[in-house]
Structure 1
Amino acid sequence: MMGESSRFREMKILKEIAEMLNEGTELNHVLSQVLKKLLDLTGLQTGWIFFIDEKGSHQLVAHEALPPALSYEQNIRMCKGSCWCVNRYHHQKITKATNIIECQRIEEAIETQNGDHNGLTHHATVPLRAGEERFGLLNVGAPFKTFFKDDELALLEAVAFQIGTAIKRLKLVEHEQKTALKDERNRLARDLHDSVNQLLFSLSLTARAGVEMTKPEEMKSTFTYIQELAQDALGEMRSLIWQLRPQGLEDGLLSAFQKYGQLLGLTVHINLKGVPHFSSQVEEALWRIGQEALANCKKHAGTTVVYIDLEKTKEKTILTIKDLGIGFQYQKGVQTPSLGLQSMRLRTEAFKGEFSLESSPDNGTLIQIKIPN
């Protein structure tokens, strides 16, 4: 039977981890801190957490004290490829804390001599879940430790349940924040349309009436100038309202690009390959990237024709936006030259995607986004 000291130690571990999980608000930071605390309190040395989606693809979201055999080249062995625990989890063969007899990733690292494994050859693996919802795996191990006792596995399972519950809570909070942000954008778009947009329209009509009613040429030119400014501001305002709440996105991404291009006075030629089905988050990211690219073309390219290619394969989505305008001097490998282009890059990288930019004077500009499915 478990002694009183062991029970007290386990309660202390669960209490401290629960407190950390309850206080945390940023998911990946919380997981890193909790993993470190778990290893410190249990005397284990190494651990990592995988998020695993419904397709069986994994993402390394937290890790602590990985040996060189696993951490070389920015943890590439942990981020790519598959392994026994991920495969078993995906096929629902891991439903509770389990001893994994030898680690496939470490085995492969030893065979290819990619660094010292520091005595780590085995690990325990525990599914992260809350009710029926599954999120991924918690893996922990220690040098020369080849077996985990039942009470150790029970403790890890209890911790994993705490982590799973916290993940669900934080994901709900994140969803609520995104919904609130979307609602706020819609409210702002309505307010701009109902107030500022109408004022600018009225100003444009008043200026036009002034041109028609005034005889002195100087006054006519002044009213004409006011009317032109009001029309320009009205166009900018409509563009801003579109950016806040794209009225065409409900008809699909390509329709939105076409309508936004028309709003800016651009002719958009679109080529589609594959079935354009995306998650709402990816679709919005592609939309914001395309918006920025079309706006840049309107302001800087010196052309009104834009070519958009959208290709959806089994592995990735590829969005290519090209113009044959005046271009600009850009050298690969240097910092992206504007905030708009930097925003496109950051949006792409948020989905583990690749952003590329090609441009040179008199040769136009090509922007390509590749986002894995």
Structure 2
Amino acid sequence: MSPRRVTALVSLFSLTSIFVACSSDTSEKTDPATGVCPAKLTIQTDWFPELEHGGTYQLIGPSGTADKNSVSYSGPVQQQYAVGGLQEVEILTKNFDKQNSSVLVDGQADMAYIGIADLIKDSAALPLIAIAKTLDQDPQMLMWDPTQYAIKTPTDIAASGASFVHFPGLSYIDFMIDKGYLMPEQSDPSYNGSDATWVSKGGSILQQGFATNEIYKYENDILWKDGAPADVSFFTVSELGFDNYPATITMLKSRATELDACLKLLVPKMQQAWVDFYNNPTPITDRMIEINEEYDGFWSLSAELNLAGLQLLEEKNIGANSPDGTYCSFDETKVQDLYDILQPIYASQGVEITDDVSSVYTNDYCQGSPGR
């Protein structure tokens, strides 16, 4: 072998060794974003599994595990949403023993569903911040039997004199009383989500619920009038003039600061999960039917209910994009308008709230989020 050929082979071997060494160094380097998120993320919802929570359940997909004892659904985060070292997601059903804000303060969840209106109400007392929306319009509604009450406008609600059964501590109740749409004596904060009171009273009350859920149930499933379902009428709270962001993804401000690097990666993925859910909801809504069956409680769903609810969600723009085209951010004007409604109400009640409504939400983590 000639000296020139030996030299060439040595040179080639040396270059190859350098290339392999460089490749090894590169493969051993960790992604600087790895580990910025907790391995497990716990999200407290505000009810049992239902289509209005679809994007959150999409993070896990239909292959998660339902636990009847903890009333939770958990599993590995789907690969397309896994960023920053996040491996597992746990979704908690409504805690009937405490408010979602208390769940956050007590460290039982990283995130919780809380409406902007309720964040405003608690803004001076609790350091909470909304980091992304789940729905654009509030499906919360007031319903009645149209054969018993001729309610055509919001002022007819007060004129009816009927009791309004609802959950306690809701901001839209304060709004309704302030507007004269509801008399204080009509307010009955004894609702627990069951249909028992409505059925026992033959629909002679007014009742809260989700337009995307209860309307179908009372008109098709629940035997409440003469042994059969019957038509109901309703106003959503938006139609009453209370334009709220419901069930926002909310965190303790200190926890959001701690997970700042994580949230910049994670929130766009969480919102992508919502877009993906809307594009193909059936795998999740079908799984929600099963999850509720496994929980073996009073709450149930059906394929027909889910289909009707999704149709109404679209009709009422409940799942619409934000003005900036993302399915994530909060409209500053909308939030300010809501604050302007609530501030004088709470001032008259002696309830201290923030002077700056922008302190209860942020759009910082919505950068790069998709739209529908």
TM-score by length of 2: 0.24
Query: Quick check: which one's strand share is greater?
Result: 1
Question: Computing the radius of gyration over CA atoms, which structure comes out larger, 1 or 2?
Answer: 1
TM-score by length of 1: 0.24
